[in-house]
Amino acid sequence: MRRHRLLFFGLAVLGAFLLMGSGVAVAQTAPPMDTTPHPTHVHEGTCAQLNPNPQYPLNETTVRKPGGNTTPTPAAVEGVQQVPTVLYSNTQIDVSLDDLLKSPHAINVHKSDAEIQIYIACGNIGGPVIDDELDIALYPQNNSGYSGVAVLKRDGSKTNVTVYLVPPSSAASAVPATPTGATPANTTGGAAGAMTTTTPAMTPAMTVTPAMTVTPPATPAS
């Protein structure tokens, strides 16, 4: 009976170590927001060969402002705090989506008004149009680390353009923390914010000694 109790206790301790090893440490501090407005335009050409003169100006891509004109602060973030801050722009431009697709165009995002010559993200306008909507990817320019998505939607003779942009600092802060008791594995290099894969550390298995078998003495022959 005592041996069984020791066995059950050992299994309980092993299970507790395994549960603790699988826990994930989550930081609850909101990452800093990128509050710099980024000039954004539709240009003729492609991201590789862009006409530097904008054809259709878009509203600046910046922190989205709900209702009034107040920029939200980290304290206003709800739910999980350690999340990317998605920058936003929404504009209706005076050209139909069909006309826009007749020749090469791209959406280009600039660093700031003061550094308008520096491009930070760009996406070629093209792809399948589904339910009057075209979704395009925005890729980093000049190693900026900014990336995102733009949505172009038909609106009669006009087009609604919505830009969603993720800054590099927010993308990096979104990478989960290393799990408790885990050993970091190889990290994939490349764009900023690349996810780091970790491999949980192995807990040594408990060695259980089998119970002793007692053989009764032989009965003397009468």
Helices (H) and strands (E) in the chain, counts: 3, 11
pLDDT value at 186 more than 60: no
Report yes or no on 118 lying in a domain.
Answer: yes
Instruction: Please report the pLDDT score of residue 65 as a whole number.
Output: 74
Tokens describing residue 119: 């491009």
Range of 115's domain? 38-65+82-173
C-beta pairs of 40-44 under 8 Å, 24+ apart in sequence: 40/89, 40/107, 40/108, 40/109, 40/110, 40/163, 41/107, 41/108, 41/110, 42/93, 42/100, 42/105, 42/106, 42/107, 42/108, 42/125, 42/161, 43/105, 43/106, 43/107, 43/108, 44/103, 44/104, 44/105
pLDDT tens by residue, 101-131: 999 999 999 999 999 999 999 999 999 999 9
Of 35 and 123, the structure prediction assigns the larger pLDDT to: 123
Average pLDDT, the chain: 74
Of 117 and 63, the structure prediction assigns the larger pLDDT to: 117
pLDDT tens by residue, 136-181: 999 999 999 999 999 999 999 999 999 999 998 644 444 554 454 5
Report yes or no on 216 lying in a domain.
Answer: no
Report yes or no on 15 lying in a domain.
Answer: no
Q: Is the pTM of this model over 0.85?
A: no
Report yes or no on 206 lying in a domain.
Answer: no
Instruction: Please report the pLDDT score of residue 71 as a whole number.
Output: 53
Instruction: Please report the pLDDT score of residue 64 as a whole number.
Output: 83
- How far is it between the farthest Cα atoms of the chain? 117
Of 207 and 47, the structure prediction assigns the larger pLDDT to: 47
**Any alpha helices (H) in 22-88, and if so which ranges?**
none
pLDDT value at 73 more than 70: no
Q: Report residue 215's pLDDT band, with 50, 70 and 90 as the boundaries.
A: low
Instruction: Please report the pLDDT score of residue 18 as a whole number.
Output: 42
Structural domain total, the chain:
1
Tokens describing residue 14: 């092993």
Of 188 and 68, the structure prediction assigns the larger pLDDT to: 68
Give how far Cα 110 sits from Cα of 36, 123, 136, 212, Å: 11, 12, 17, 77
Other beta carbons within 10 angstroms of residue 185's beta carbon come to 11
Q: How far apart are CA 170 and CA 29, in angstroms?
A: 12
Report yes or no on 158 lying in a domain.
Answer: yes
Report yes or no on 136 lying in a domain.
Answer: yes
Instruction: Please report the pLDDT score of residue 72 as a whole number.
Output: 52
Report yes or no on 143 lying in a domain.
Answer: yes
Report yes or no on 148 lying in a domain.
Answer: yes
